[in-house]
Chain A
Amino acid sequence: MTEYALILISTIWVNNFLLVKFLGLCPFMGVSRKLETAIGMGMATTFVLTLSAISSSLVNDWILLPLGLEYLRTIMFILVIAVVVQFTEMVVHKTSPLLYNLLGIFLPLITTNCAVLGVALLNVQEKHTFLESAFYGFGAAIGFSLVLVLFAGMRERIRVADVPAIFQGNSIALITAGIMSLAFLGFAGLVK
């Protein structure tokens, strides 16, 4: 049990995909302008990441390994991820059309979100069991959402703040992200 808790802590804080591993920076900058959008994106990504981590682990353990098709891993994972993303897109479109509109291009782009493929491949690399994979994917997604929401909140504040002209816009956003990353690197101290 502690193992799973450790996986969660590790993926959320210590090895945060966004701020420590620097995976999935594209939606991180793209959909963090508004808190609501960020929350929506966080939820969509959580759903996709968890589901794709589970299904790619299944595909890997039950199809690729028995048939000796490890070399098809990348293409198979992309296929799995694409299907999960498509499915999520339909669900979001149905349940929250406005969120669908707000997420816009970033929703299908979860497919090419390196964090998603990263989780799937890392699961294989680390030889995670099925449950471990699920926790790993879920933790990564929670970490991703957490940072995305925090960052969006900060960006909303920065928007009305008195920022020197030269730093306005994306510059200050990247600086903020950098400082956040520094802060998260501090969690590395948790592990001796």
Chain B
Amino acid sequence: MSVLIAVITLSSIAGLFGLVLGYSAIRFRVQGDPVADKIDAILPQTQCGQCSFAGCRPYAEAIAKGEADINRCPPGGTATMLALADLLGVEPKPLAEEHTGEPIKTVVYIDEQTCIGCTLCIQACPVDAILGAAKQMHTVIESECTGCNLCIPPCPVDCIHIMPVKVQPETWRWPLPEHPPGTAPRVSAL
């Protein structure tokens, strides 16, 4: 008899709790994924696809769902990876060997003598930074270029070249002074 009471009590209470939780699941349903927005805000928006996703937004969504690692963004470099680790509260993961260190900002330029006006690069550019029309010379709007280099493979005459963004006195940054011995900063110590 007492076993029966125990079973009934337990199951009825469990059932009651189930109902409460079921109701609150509907009441507190989460629309969209706000975390993906936050991740997207950190990514550099080069839209280069080096993370193997079609752009920064899809990568952000993949990270938010836990389907992608945080260390797959070479243009963002270690800084972006650390920012993501910080945001999501996960362990920092080093980037692939060749992408460690601060990424060098680049843009592309079109060798206008060689350009044949095929428009292939215009179609490849994710941010519409290339100006031109069929059989007309193309040119890159430097201020709009994100340095994704997606326009380089389609070019049939290899007239697109990468150049580093030039540091101007206005955009120059003071270097971090050399640290006193034994006081080197520990950004990811804990």
**Chain A positions near chain B (C-beta within 8 angstroms):** 33-34, 37, 59, 63, 67-69, 72, 75-76, 79-80, 83, 86-87, 90-91, 93-94, 97-98, 101-104, 155, 158-160, 162-163, 168-170, 173
CA distance A166 to B180 in the complex (A): 19
Extra inter-chain contacts (20) besides given A80-B17, A168-B189, CB under 8 Å: A33-B89, A33-B190, A34-B86, A59-B13, A63-B9, A67-B9, A69-B9, A79-B17, A87-B24, A90-B25, A93-B28, A93-B30, A94-B28, A97-B30, A97-B33, A101-B35, A159-B186, A159-B190, A160-B185, A169-B190
Q: Is the CB of B186 within 8 A of A160?
A: yes
How many Cβ-Cβ contacts under 8 Å join chain A to chain B? 80
Contact with A along B2-29 (1 / 0, CB 8 A): 1001100110011001001100110011
Neighbour of A87 across the interface among B6, B13, B20, B35, CB < 8 A: B20
Q: Which residues of A contact B9 (CB under 8 A)?
A: 63, 67, 69, 72
Q: Is the CB of B190 within 8 A of A102?
A: no
Q: Is the CB of B89 within 8 A of A102?
A: yes
Neighbour of A83 across the interface among B20, B29, B86, CB < 8 A: B20
- State whether the Cβ of B161 lies closer than 8 Å to any Cβ in chain A: no
- State whether the Cβ of B153 lies closer than 8 Å to any Cβ in chain A: no
Q: Which of the four size classes fits the interface of chain B? A: 20 to 34
CA distance A33 to B185 in the complex (A): 16
In the assembled complex, the CB of A45 is this many whole angstroms from the nearest CB of chain B, namely 16
CA distance A50 to B64 in the complex (A): 31
- Which chain B residue has the least Cβ–Cβ distance from A104? B89
Q: Is the CB of B88 within 8 A of A101?
A: yes
**Chain B positions near chain A (C-beta within 8 angstroms):** 2, 5-6, 9-10, 13-14, 17, 20-21, 24-25, 28-30, 33-35, 38, 86-90, 182-183, 185-186, 189-190
Q: Is the CB of A69 within 8 A of B21?
A: no
Q: Which residues of B contact A158 (CB under 8 A)?
A: 190
Q: Which residues of A contact B20 (CB under 8 A)?
A: 83, 87
Q: Is the CB of B30 within 8 A of A83?
A: no
Q: Is the CB of A83 within 8 A of B17?
A: yes
